[in-house]
Amino acid sequence: MKIALLSRNKELYSSRRLIEAAIEKGHEIRTLDVLRCYMNITSHHPSIHFRGEDLTGFDAVIPRIGASVTFYGTAVLRQFEMMGVYPLNESVAISRSRDKLRAMQLLSRKGIGLPITGFANKPDDIPDLIKMVGGAPLVIKLLQGTQGIGVVLAETQNAAESVIESFLGLKASVLVQEYIGEAGGADIRCFVIGDKVVASMKRQGAEGEFRSNIHRGGSATLIKITPEERSTAIRAAKTMGLNVCGVDILRSNHGPVVMEVNSSPGLEGIENATGKDIAGMVIDFIEKTAKYGKTRTKGKG
Ligand code: ADP
Protein backbone atom coordinates (compact mmCIF):
# COMPACT_ATOMS: atom_id res chain seq x y z
CA MET A 1 0.00 0.00 0.00
CA LYS A 2 0.98 3.61 -0.41
CA ILE A 3 0.39 5.46 2.85
CA ALA A 4 0.54 9.18 3.60
CA LEU A 5 1.56 10.19 7.10
CA LEU A 6 0.28 13.65 7.89
CA SER A 7 2.84 14.85 10.39
CA ARG A 8 4.76 18.07 10.77
CA ASN A 9 7.89 16.27 11.96
CA LYS A 10 9.01 12.81 10.94
CA GLU A 11 11.65 12.74 13.66
CA LEU A 12 9.04 12.54 16.43
CA TYR A 13 8.90 9.15 18.13
CA SER A 14 5.34 8.37 16.98
CA SER A 15 6.07 9.32 13.36
CA ARG A 16 9.32 7.37 13.34
CA ARG A 17 7.66 4.26 14.70
CA LEU A 18 4.79 4.40 12.20
CA ILE A 19 7.23 4.85 9.32
CA GLU A 20 9.35 1.94 10.58
CA ALA A 21 6.33 -0.34 11.02
CA ALA A 22 4.91 0.48 7.58
CA ILE A 23 8.22 -0.17 5.82
CA GLU A 24 8.75 -3.37 7.79
CA LYS A 25 5.38 -4.62 6.55
CA GLY A 26 6.26 -3.86 2.95
CA HIS A 27 4.39 -0.60 2.43
CA GLU A 28 5.44 2.69 0.95
CA ILE A 29 4.98 5.58 3.36
CA ARG A 30 5.52 9.26 2.83
CA THR A 31 5.47 12.00 5.46
CA LEU A 32 3.63 15.16 4.46
CA ASP A 33 3.63 18.37 6.44
CA VAL A 34 -0.04 19.24 6.47
CA LEU A 35 0.69 22.96 6.35
CA ARG A 36 2.54 22.49 3.06
CA CYS A 37 -0.46 20.77 1.45
CA TYR A 38 -2.63 23.07 -0.63
CA MET A 39 -5.59 22.51 -2.84
CA ASN A 40 -8.25 23.83 -5.13
CA ILE A 41 -11.24 23.07 -2.93
CA THR A 42 -13.78 23.72 -5.69
CA SER A 43 -12.36 21.40 -8.32
CA HIS A 44 -14.61 18.57 -9.54
CA HIS A 45 -11.57 16.35 -9.39
CA PRO A 46 -10.35 16.89 -5.85
CA SER A 47 -6.59 16.81 -5.60
CA ILE A 48 -3.88 17.90 -3.19
CA HIS A 49 -0.65 19.61 -4.07
CA PHE A 50 2.56 19.48 -2.09
CA ARG A 51 5.53 21.66 -2.98
CA GLY A 52 4.43 21.84 -6.61
CA GLU A 53 3.63 18.16 -6.93
CA ASP A 54 0.16 16.69 -7.52
CA LEU A 55 -0.30 13.99 -4.87
CA THR A 56 -1.86 10.84 -6.28
CA GLY A 57 -2.09 7.12 -5.71
CA PHE A 58 -2.40 7.01 -1.93
CA ASP A 59 -4.43 4.14 -0.46
CA ALA A 60 -4.52 5.36 3.13
CA VAL A 61 -3.71 8.41 5.19
CA ILE A 62 -2.61 8.46 8.83
CA PRO A 63 -3.49 11.86 10.27
CA ARG A 64 -1.35 13.06 13.14
CA ILE A 65 -2.64 16.58 13.32
CA GLY A 66 -1.46 18.71 16.21
CA ALA A 67 -4.04 20.61 18.26
CA SER A 68 -2.74 23.95 16.99
CA VAL A 69 -3.36 23.02 13.32
CA THR A 70 -6.70 21.23 13.71
CA PHE A 71 -8.60 23.63 11.47
CA TYR A 72 -6.26 23.50 8.47
CA GLY A 73 -5.26 19.89 9.10
CA THR A 74 -8.81 18.55 9.06
CA ALA A 75 -9.52 20.47 5.83
CA VAL A 76 -6.55 18.75 4.15
CA LEU A 77 -7.67 15.38 5.54
CA ARG A 78 -11.20 16.01 4.23
CA GLN A 79 -9.72 16.60 0.80
CA PHE A 80 -7.98 13.20 0.98
CA GLU A 81 -11.35 11.68 1.92
CA MET A 82 -12.98 13.36 -1.09
CA MET A 83 -10.28 11.74 -3.23
CA GLY A 84 -11.35 8.35 -1.84
CA VAL A 85 -8.21 7.84 0.28
CA TYR A 86 -8.94 5.80 3.42
CA PRO A 87 -8.35 7.86 6.58
CA LEU A 88 -7.19 6.04 9.73
CA ASN A 89 -9.33 8.55 11.61
CA GLU A 90 -11.92 10.60 9.78
CA SER A 91 -11.79 14.39 9.71
CA VAL A 92 -15.23 14.76 11.35
CA ALA A 93 -14.25 12.40 14.15
CA ILE A 94 -11.09 14.40 14.81
CA SER A 95 -13.06 17.66 14.85
CA ARG A 96 -15.58 16.17 17.27
CA SER A 97 -12.93 15.04 19.72
CA ARG A 98 -10.98 18.31 19.52
CA ASP A 99 -13.99 20.31 20.64
CA LYS A 100 -14.11 19.47 24.34
CA LEU A 101 -17.70 20.64 24.85
CA ARG A 102 -19.02 18.83 21.83
CA ALA A 103 -17.12 15.68 22.80
CA MET A 104 -18.53 15.69 26.34
CA GLN A 105 -22.06 16.31 25.12
CA LEU A 106 -21.80 13.39 22.69
CA LEU A 107 -20.34 11.09 25.36
CA SER A 108 -23.01 12.15 27.84
CA ARG A 109 -25.75 11.40 25.31
CA LYS A 110 -24.45 7.81 25.13
CA GLY A 111 -24.49 7.49 28.91
CA ILE A 112 -20.68 7.27 29.22
CA GLY A 113 -19.33 8.16 32.69
CA LEU A 114 -18.06 11.75 32.93
CA PRO A 115 -17.07 14.05 35.77
CA ILE A 116 -19.90 16.50 36.50
CA THR A 117 -19.05 19.41 34.23
CA GLY A 118 -20.49 22.87 33.70
CA PHE A 119 -19.96 25.66 31.22
CA ALA A 120 -20.92 29.31 31.40
CA ASN A 121 -20.21 32.49 29.54
CA LYS A 122 -21.03 35.36 31.91
CA PRO A 123 -19.34 36.09 35.24
CA ASP A 124 -22.80 36.72 36.77
CA ASP A 125 -23.68 33.07 36.29
CA ILE A 126 -20.58 31.70 38.00
CA PRO A 127 -21.85 31.30 41.58
CA ASP A 128 -24.84 29.29 40.32
CA LEU A 129 -22.65 27.25 37.98
CA ILE A 130 -20.33 26.36 40.87
CA LYS A 131 -23.32 25.23 42.90
CA MET A 132 -24.57 23.15 39.95
CA VAL A 133 -21.37 21.13 39.73
CA GLY A 134 -21.30 20.51 43.49
CA GLY A 135 -19.09 23.31 44.87
CA ALA A 136 -15.35 23.43 45.65
CA PRO A 137 -12.92 21.79 45.29
CA LEU A 138 -13.27 22.19 41.56
CA VAL A 139 -11.18 21.78 38.46
CA ILE A 140 -11.26 24.66 36.02
CA LYS A 141 -10.11 24.06 32.46
CA LEU A 142 -9.38 26.33 29.59
CA LEU A 143 -11.28 24.98 26.62
CA GLN A 144 -8.25 25.46 24.36
CA GLY A 145 -5.69 23.86 26.70
CA THR A 146 -3.58 20.75 26.06
CA GLN A 147 -1.00 18.79 28.04
CA GLY A 148 -2.45 19.95 31.32
CA ILE A 149 -1.78 23.64 30.61
CA GLY A 150 -4.79 25.67 31.68
CA VAL A 151 -6.05 23.01 34.12
CA VAL A 152 -6.39 24.51 37.59
CA LEU A 153 -7.50 23.01 40.89
CA ALA A 154 -9.46 25.51 42.97
CA GLU A 155 -9.77 24.27 46.54
CA THR A 156 -12.28 26.82 47.81
CA GLN A 157 -15.37 28.58 46.54
CA ASN A 158 -13.55 31.94 46.60
CA ALA A 159 -10.59 30.62 44.66
CA ALA A 160 -12.91 29.02 42.11
CA GLU A 161 -14.88 32.22 41.61
CA SER A 162 -11.82 34.40 41.15
CA VAL A 163 -10.05 32.01 38.77
CA ILE A 164 -13.16 31.62 36.61
CA GLU A 165 -13.77 35.35 36.60
CA SER A 166 -10.24 36.11 35.50
CA PHE A 167 -10.36 33.53 32.70
CA LEU A 168 -13.69 34.91 31.48
CA GLY A 169 -12.28 38.42 31.79
CA LEU A 170 -9.57 37.36 29.33
CA LYS A 171 -12.32 36.16 26.99
CA ALA A 172 -11.20 32.55 27.46
CA SER A 173 -13.83 29.79 27.53
CA VAL A 174 -13.68 27.55 30.58
CA LEU A 175 -15.14 24.28 31.79
CA VAL A 176 -15.85 23.84 35.49
CA GLN A 177 -15.57 20.28 36.70
CA GLU A 178 -16.05 18.14 39.76
CA TYR A 179 -12.62 17.31 41.25
CA ILE A 180 -12.01 13.56 41.29
CA GLY A 181 -9.67 13.61 44.31
CA GLU A 182 -10.02 9.86 44.83
CA ALA A 183 -8.09 9.30 41.56
CA GLY A 184 -5.00 10.33 43.58
CA GLY A 185 -3.35 12.26 40.75
CA ALA A 186 -3.45 9.25 38.43
CA ASP A 187 -5.29 8.53 35.22
CA ILE A 188 -5.50 5.58 32.88
CA ARG A 189 -4.66 5.86 29.20
CA CYS A 190 -6.44 3.19 27.16
CA PHE A 191 -5.10 2.84 23.64
CA VAL A 192 -7.93 1.81 21.34
CA ILE A 193 -7.54 0.33 17.85
CA GLY A 194 -10.77 -0.63 16.09
CA ASP A 195 -13.05 -2.08 18.74
CA LYS A 196 -10.31 -3.19 21.14
CA VAL A 197 -8.24 -1.71 23.92
CA VAL A 198 -4.84 -2.99 22.76
CA ALA A 199 -2.80 -1.49 25.61
CA SER A 200 -3.28 0.51 28.76
CA MET A 201 -1.09 2.33 31.23
CA LYS A 202 -1.46 4.25 34.44
CA ARG A 203 0.01 7.72 34.54
CA GLN A 204 0.82 9.10 37.95
CA GLY A 205 1.42 12.79 38.47
CA ALA A 206 4.62 13.97 40.14
CA GLU A 207 4.52 14.29 43.95
CA GLY A 208 1.98 16.95 44.97
CA GLU A 209 0.64 17.32 41.40
CA PHE A 210 -2.97 16.40 40.61
CA ARG A 211 -2.32 16.38 36.87
CA SER A 212 -0.92 13.13 35.55
CA ASN A 213 0.44 14.44 32.23
CA ILE A 214 3.82 12.95 31.35
CA HIS A 215 4.79 16.38 30.01
CA ARG A 216 4.32 17.67 33.57
CA GLY A 217 6.66 15.13 35.13
CA GLY A 218 4.21 12.25 35.49
CA SER A 219 5.37 8.65 35.15
CA ALA A 220 3.77 5.69 33.39
CA THR A 221 3.38 2.11 34.56
CA LEU A 222 1.57 -0.97 33.37
CA ILE A 223 -1.97 -1.45 34.69
CA LYS A 224 -4.69 -4.04 34.38
CA ILE A 225 -7.97 -2.36 33.60
CA THR A 226 -11.40 -3.58 34.71
CA PRO A 227 -14.01 -4.83 32.23
CA GLU A 228 -16.03 -1.66 32.96
CA GLU A 229 -13.05 0.56 32.11
CA ARG A 230 -12.45 -1.44 28.95
CA SER A 231 -16.03 -1.07 27.77
CA THR A 232 -16.05 2.64 28.69
CA ALA A 233 -12.97 3.22 26.51
CA ILE A 234 -14.38 1.28 23.57
CA ARG A 235 -17.73 3.03 23.76
CA ALA A 236 -16.05 6.44 24.01
CA ALA A 237 -13.97 5.72 20.87
CA LYS A 238 -17.04 4.51 19.04
CA THR A 239 -19.07 7.57 20.06
CA MET A 240 -16.38 9.86 18.65
CA GLY A 241 -16.13 7.70 15.54
CA LEU A 242 -12.37 7.27 16.01
CA ASN A 243 -10.67 4.05 14.85
CA VAL A 244 -7.49 4.79 16.74
CA CYS A 245 -7.41 6.91 19.86
CA GLY A 246 -6.27 7.28 23.43
CA VAL A 247 -9.07 7.37 25.97
CA ASP A 248 -8.10 8.93 29.31
CA ILE A 249 -10.07 7.66 32.26
CA LEU A 250 -10.11 8.60 35.95
CA ARG A 251 -11.15 6.09 38.62
CA SER A 252 -13.87 7.94 40.48
CA ASN A 253 -16.07 6.69 43.30
CA HIS A 254 -18.95 6.75 40.82
CA GLY A 255 -17.11 4.49 38.37
CA PRO A 256 -14.77 5.21 35.45
CA VAL A 257 -15.09 8.73 34.06
CA VAL A 258 -13.70 9.85 30.71
CA MET A 259 -11.42 12.90 30.73
CA GLU A 260 -10.56 13.08 27.12
CA VAL A 261 -10.51 11.15 23.87
CA ASN A 262 -7.29 11.89 22.01
CA SER A 263 -7.32 11.38 18.24
CA SER A 264 -3.49 11.47 17.87
CA PRO A 265 -2.32 9.48 20.88
CA GLY A 266 1.45 9.39 21.35
CA LEU A 267 3.18 6.03 20.97
CA GLU A 268 6.27 6.57 23.09
CA GLY A 269 4.74 6.37 26.56
CA ILE A 270 2.48 3.43 25.81
CA GLU A 271 5.07 1.39 23.87
CA ASN A 272 7.65 1.91 26.61
CA ALA A 273 5.22 1.13 29.44
CA THR A 274 3.81 -2.00 27.82
CA GLY A 275 6.61 -3.21 25.54
CA LYS A 276 4.00 -3.67 22.79
CA ASP A 277 4.45 -2.89 19.11
CA ILE A 278 1.54 -0.47 18.89
CA ALA A 279 2.80 1.08 15.63
CA GLY A 280 2.74 -2.38 14.04
CA MET A 281 -0.82 -2.89 15.27
CA VAL A 282 -1.90 0.41 13.69
CA ILE A 283 -0.44 -0.66 10.33
CA ASP A 284 -2.09 -4.11 10.66
CA PHE A 285 -5.41 -2.35 11.24
CA ILE A 286 -4.95 -0.23 8.10
CA GLU A 287 -4.12 -3.37 6.08
CA LYS A 288 -7.34 -4.96 7.28
CA THR A 289 -9.69 -2.02 6.84
CA ALA A 290 -8.41 0.35 4.16
CA LYS A 291 -10.54 0.37 1.04
CA TYR A 292 -11.04 3.01 -1.61
CA GLY A 293 -13.73 5.48 -0.53
CA LYS A 294 -14.23 3.84 2.86
CA THR A 295 -15.16 6.83 4.95
CA ARG A 296 -18.49 7.28 6.65
CA THR A 297 -18.86 10.83 5.37
CA LYS A 298 -16.75 10.78 2.18
CA GLY A 299 -15.62 14.26 3.09
CA LYS A 300 -19.20 15.49 3.52
CA GLY A 301 -18.99 16.12 7.28
P1 ADP B 1 -5.20 18.15 28.99
O2 ADP B 1 -6.13 17.79 27.87
O3 ADP B 1 -4.66 19.53 28.89
O4 ADP B 1 -4.18 17.09 29.28
P5 ADP B 1 -6.93 17.17 31.02
O6 ADP B 1 -8.32 17.61 31.09
O7 ADP B 1 -6.64 15.81 30.46
O8 ADP B 1 -6.09 18.26 30.27
O9 ADP B 1 -6.29 17.27 32.47
C10 ADP B 1 -4.93 17.00 32.74
C11 ADP B 1 -4.80 16.06 33.93
O12 ADP B 1 -5.33 16.67 35.11
C13 ADP B 1 -5.61 14.77 33.75
O14 ADP B 1 -4.88 13.79 33.05
C15 ADP B 1 -5.88 14.38 35.19
O16 ADP B 1 -4.77 13.69 35.74
C17 ADP B 1 -6.01 15.71 35.90
N18 ADP B 1 -7.44 16.09 35.97
C19 ADP B 1 -8.14 16.72 35.02
N20 ADP B 1 -9.43 16.89 35.38
C21 ADP B 1 -9.54 16.37 36.61
C22 ADP B 1 -10.64 16.24 37.53
N23 ADP B 1 -11.85 16.71 37.24
N24 ADP B 1 -10.38 15.64 38.71
C25 ADP B 1 -9.15 15.16 39.00
N26 ADP B 1 -8.09 15.25 38.20
C27 ADP B 1 -8.27 15.85 37.01
Give the mean pLDDT of 108-119.
96
Measured CA to CA, the distance from residue 228 to residue 247 in angstroms comes to 13
**pLDDT for residue 235 is more than 60:** yes
**pLDDT for residue 293 is more than 80:** no
Give the mean pLDDT of 138-165.
86
Give the mean pLDDT of 137-149.
81
Of all helices (H) and strands (E), which one includes residue 248? strand 244-252
- Looking at residue 270, what DSSP letter applies? H
In 37-154, DSSP assigns E strands to 37-38, 48-50, 53-55, 60-63, 86-87, 117-119, 138-142, 151-154
Please work out whether the CB of residue 161 comes within 6 Å of at least one atom of ligand 1. no
pLDDT band at 148 (very low <50, low <70, confident <90, very high): low
- Higher confidence at residue 96 or residue 127? 96
In whole numbers, what is the pLDDT of the chain averaged over residues? 93
* Site to substitute for ligand 1 among 259, 261, 262, most atoms within 8 A of C-beta: 259
What the chain holds in terms of domains, given with CATH numbers, is: 2-95 (3.40.50.20), 117-179 (3.30.1490.20), 183-284 (3.30.470.20)
Give the mean pLDDT of 9-22.
97
The winner for highest mean pLDDT among 137-146, 154-163, 243-252 is: 243-252
Closest residue by CA, ligand 1 atom 23: 179
Closest residue by CA, ligand 1 atom 18: 211
**pLDDT for residue 141 is more than 60:** yes
Q: How far is CA 269 from CA 89, 100, 178, in A?
A: 21, 23, 27
Q: What percent of the chain has pLDDT over 70?
A: 97
pLDDT band at 201 (very low <50, low <70, confident <90, very high): very high
Closest residue by CA, ligand 1 atom 13: 211
Q: Give the number of the atom of ligand 1 that is nearest the alpha carbon of residue 213.
A: 14
Closest residue by CA, ligand 1 atom 6: 259
The per-residue pLDDT for range 61-71, each reduced to its tens digit, is 999 999 899 99
* Site to substitute for ligand 1 among 211, 245, 251, most atoms within 8 A of C-beta: 211
pLDDT band at 157 (very low <50, low <70, confident <90, very high): very high
